Copies of this chain bind each other. A is one copy, B any other.
Amino acid sequence: MNSTLMAPNAQYQSCIDSCNKCMQLCEECFRMCLSEPDVKAREHCIVDLVDCAEICRTAATTMARRGYHANDICNLCAIICDECASECSKFNDEHCRMCADACRQCADECRRMRAM
């Protein structure tokens, strides 16, 4: 790849990977929350999961094309990931724990990217 235009690739790559992983875990957690016995208690969490998956996806694609507002989108992605992690942390099942971890890692990567 043309390293002049697209650099610094390594810094983007780590954040894109975290966004893609967070997107996947949010979508999986969304699906599994729907079949939990206490699904009625999870409305806020489920909405956050769908929102978080979407902003992660938007962040990943915008970084990949080196969009001019990628840093702003990463900033917002970090905020939504933190919120989603907070909601998922209210539940003790493994998919919520794994998803909360992925959200926190993605938020950290996005804050690092935002500051670049």
Contacts and interface: CB of A to CB of B under 8 A. Distances in A.
Interface of A: 1-2, 5-6, 16, 20, 23-24, 27-28, 30-32, 34-35, 39-40, 43-44, 46-48, 50-51, 53-55, 57-58, 60-62, 64-69, 72-73, 76, 79-80, 83, 93-95, 98
B55 A57 contact: no
Q: Which 5 pairs between the two chains have the least Cβ-Cβ distance? A: A27-B64, A27-B65, A51-B67, A24-B64, A20-B20
A contact face: mostly helix, strand, loop, or mixed: helix
A22 B39 CA distance: 26
A39 B40 CA distance: 7
Contacts of A47: 31, 34, 65-68
A68 B39 CA distance: 18
A34 B20 CA distance: 25
